Amino acid sequence: MRRLRSASLLAGLLLAALPILGAGIDTAQYLEDVKTLSSAKFKGRLSGTRELDEAAQWLAARFQEIGLRPPPGGFLQRFHVTTAAQAGRSTRLSYTLGGKTTVLKLSEEYTPLGLSSNGAASGPLVFAGYGITAPEYGYDDYAGLDVRGKVVVILRHEPQEYDDRSVFGGRVYTNHAQIESKAVNALRHGAAALILVDDAPSHRGSAGLEKLGNGIGPDAPGIPAVEIKPAIFEKWLEAAGQSFEKIIEGIDEDLRPRSFAFPAALTVDLTVDLHRETRPVYNVLAWLPGTTEEYVIACAHYDHVGLGQQYSMDPSRRGEIHPGADDNASGTAGVLALARWFAAQPPPRRGILFIAFGGEEFGLLGSNYYLRNPVLPLSNAVAVINLDMIGRMRDNKLYVGGAESSPGFKQLIAEMNRNGDGPFEIEDDDTGDYGSSDHFALATAEIPYLFFFTGLHPDYHTPRDTWDRINAAGAARVLQFVSRILEHLVQ
Ligand SMILES: [Zn+2]
Ligand SMILES: [Zn+2]
């Protein structure tokens, strides 16, 4: 499945012989923290709001109180998200083919991407496959291609996305599939503008055009960027004597790029004029040094969906506070509980970097930002523990993802569960069926991860996700289990 850096993370450990330790979790304190984080004063913790900034300050103060150090750069790591974007009047896109100019309809045939910079570009067009340069996989859509000053057309996603044996992530996308990575790569190769097309043959039935204004996303990397309908792209391919299906099948088959310059008879003329609003969001980080350079990341996202916005699962109650007690005050309070326990122990061999991520609900923005701007070398990170929704334990059932991400994890989980205070019924959660979380982003850096989750429920992303419905005793048992695992990972 995924290539691993730390194949021998746990090799040689005789797990059964190790003592069963594990944190003493203060259940009352835990519930108090969930209550505070999900209280009305933080207004549903929407990324980009003053209330989320206040929640960040509150978390930083807790970490400090616990006695943890700020990592290099401080407790707060700031990044920006686009909270709203509108296309201004001079936004336009037309193409000329064989002397005939066609002006495309905004929102119907094309739309600027939320991360687009403002600017104009015109001239010949180059097709650059998936727009990916991945030396680690021996794959480069830009190999032998001159795109300097030209407009590049690239596909969404990445090669071999339905292939579990893919050198790319297979069913889990790697970081190369992120539009932002593609924009940065196009810029690096000197492209003047970027046109994105849904890889439609791989996704029959999808709309093919994202809506702007759902344009909450990362900050602009510095290149004008639009998305067009696959039907337009197919017209261009026809003029070049190419087939959409054959391009995709070809790349999937041998991972050799199918990039080319379109005939000179085809040119585009594009202007993006976006009115964007951006707001800062913070990741909150705290550092517990070990006696070596290596460390484990223990994380949870602390943002939620505010008043529901476009994320509410109960549209009739949009506008009311969505408190997000389970999603994910439960995991954030869990990170605090782990921090309290480990800070009170003798220094571990490996350090622990505690992170509360912002921007998760908008698309893992905080963890993706962190990946590109780590405060400690990612090469020293041996594992990630991610907690997302651990507050609704029912029927003693615990979902654990990532057991396959490192040899030894399966055994570790089984051992720690067997010797615990009554075993959980553990279910694998590697399908992503329950939606993604920050470990998806961190897994793209090929750090082995474990993800803990007590399951979906009808109150998910609704105003009913309140603190009084949290199973605090169940969460405390999950945290004891997690702390036993973490204890072995840092020793
Ligand atoms: Zn969540
Ligand atoms: Zn959520």
Is 331 a residue whose pLDDT tops 60? yes
Instruction: Tell me the C-alpha distance between 81 and 359, whole Å.
Output: 8
Report the separation in Å between the CA atom of 390 and the middle of ligand 1, taken as the mean of its atom positions. 10
Report the separation in Å between the CA atom of 362 and the middle of ligand 2, taken as the mean of its atom positions. 9
Is 163 a residue whose pLDDT tops 80? no
Across the range 302-325, mean pLDDT stands at 91
Residue 489: predicted pLDDT: 96
Is 6 a residue whose pLDDT tops 60? no
Report the separation in Å between the CA atom of 81 and the middle of ligand 1, taken as the mean of its atom positions. 18
H runs (alpha helix) in 73-205: 179-188
Report the separation in Å between the CA atom of 86 and the middle of ligand 1, taken as the mean of its atom positions. 28
Share of the chain above pLDDT 90, in %: 67
Q: What is the pLDDT of residues 352-379, one digit of tens each?
A: 999 999 999 887 889 989 998 999 999 9
Is 7 a residue whose pLDDT tops 50? no
Report the separation in Å between the CA atom of 179 and the middle of ligand 2, taken as the mean of its atom positions. 21
Say which residues have a Cβ less than 8 Å from residue 136's Cβ, sequence separation at least 6.
Answer: none
Report the separation in Å between the CA atom of 237 and the middle of ligand 1, taken as the mean of its atom positions. 41
Report the separation in Å between the CA atom of 416 and the middle of ligand 2, taken as the mean of its atom positions. 28
**Residue 388 CA: which ligand is closest?**
1
Report the separation in Å between the CA atom of 2 and the middle of ligand 1, taken as the mean of its atom positions. 23
Is 479 a residue whose pLDDT tops 80? yes
Across the range 146-170, mean pLDDT stands at 83
Report the separation in Å between the CA atom of 350 and the middle of ligand 1, taken as the mean of its atom positions. 27
Number of other CB atoms surrounding residue 242 within 10 Å: 15
Report the separation in Å between the CA atom of 38 and the middle of ligand 1, taken as the mean of its atom positions. 13
Instruction: Tell me the C-alpha distance between 438 and 363, whole Å.
Output: 9
Report the separation in Å between the CA atom of 451 and the middle of ligand 2, taken as the mean of its atom positions. 15
Report the separation in Å between the CA atom of 331 and the middle of ligand 1, taken as the mean of its atom positions. 9
Residue 105, judged by CB atoms within 10 A of its CB (0-12, 13-18, 19+), counts as exposed
Q: Are 382 and 489 in contact (CB under 8 A)?
A: yes
The identity of residue 290, as a single letter, is G
Report the separation in Å between the CA atom of 434 and the middle of ligand 1, taken as the mean of its atom positions. 10
Residue 14: predicted pLDDT: 43
Residue 174: which pLDDT band, with cuts at 50, 70 and 90? low
Look-up: residue for tokens 């929407």? 46
Is 13 a residue whose pLDDT tops 50? no
User: Which has the closest alpha carbon to 183: 175, 95, 209, 80?
Assistant: 175
Residue 433: which pLDDT band, with cuts at 50, 70 and 90? very low
**Residue 436 CA: which ligand is closest?**
1
Report the separation in Å between the CA atom of 204 and the middle of ligand 1, taken as the mean of its atom positions. 28
Report the separation in Å between the CA atom of 17 and the middle of ligand 1, taken as the mean of its atom positions. 36
**Residue 330 CA: which ligand is closest?**
1
The average confidence (pLDDT) of the chain is: 88
Instruction: Tell me the C-alpha distance between 418 and 18, whole Å.
Output: 13
Report the separation in Å between the CA atom of 135 and the middle of ligand 2, taken as the mean of its atom positions. 34
**Residue 462 CA: which ligand is closest?**
2
Report the separation in Å between the CA atom of 460 and the middle of ligand 1, taken as the mean of its atom positions. 9
Residue 207: predicted pLDDT: 55
**Residue 386 CA: which ligand is closest?**
1
**Residue 329 CA: which ligand is closest?**
1
- Calculate the alpha carbon distances from 77 to 20, 70, 71 in Å: 35, 10, 10
Q: Give the dihedral sign, CA 174/175/177/178.
A: positive
User: Helix count (H) and strand count (E) of the chain?
Assistant: 10, 20
Report the separation in Å between the CA atom of 183 and the middle of ligand 1, taken as the mean of its atom positions. 27
Residue 277: predicted pLDDT: 83
Share of the chain above pLDDT 70, in %: 88
Report the separation in Å between the CA atom of 465 and the middle of ligand 1, taken as the mean of its atom positions. 12
Residue 217: predicted pLDDT: 61
Those residues whose beta carbon sits under 5 angstroms from the ion ligand 2 are: 327, 361
Q: What is the pLDDT of residues 272-303, one digit of tens each?
A: 999 888 899 999 999 999 999 999 999 999 99
Q: Are 216 and 176 in contact (CB under 8 A)?
A: no
Report the separation in Å between the CA atom of 92 and the middle of ligand 2, taken as the mean of its atom positions. 35
Report the separation in Å between the CA atom of 272 and the middle of ligand 1, taken as the mean of its atom positions. 33
Residue 219: which pLDDT band, with cuts at 50, 70 and 90? low
Report the separation in Å between the CA atom of 312 and the middle of ligand 2, taken as the mean of its atom positions. 9
Convert 292-325 to b/e letters by CB count within 10 Å (16 or more is b): eebbbbbbbbbbbbbbbbebbbbeeebeebbbbb
ipTM attached to this prediction? 0.96
Q: What is the pLDDT of residues 225-251, one digit of tens each?
A: 999 999 999 999 999 999 999 999 999
Number of other CB atoms surrounding residue 99 within 10 Å: 6
Q: Which domains does the chain have, with CATH numbers?
A: 15-83+278-490 (3.40.630.10), 89-272 (3.50.30.30)
**Residue 362 CA: which ligand is closest?**
2
Is 431 a residue whose pLDDT tops 70? no
Q: What is the pLDDT of residues 385-402, one digit of tens each?
A: 999 999 999 999 999 999
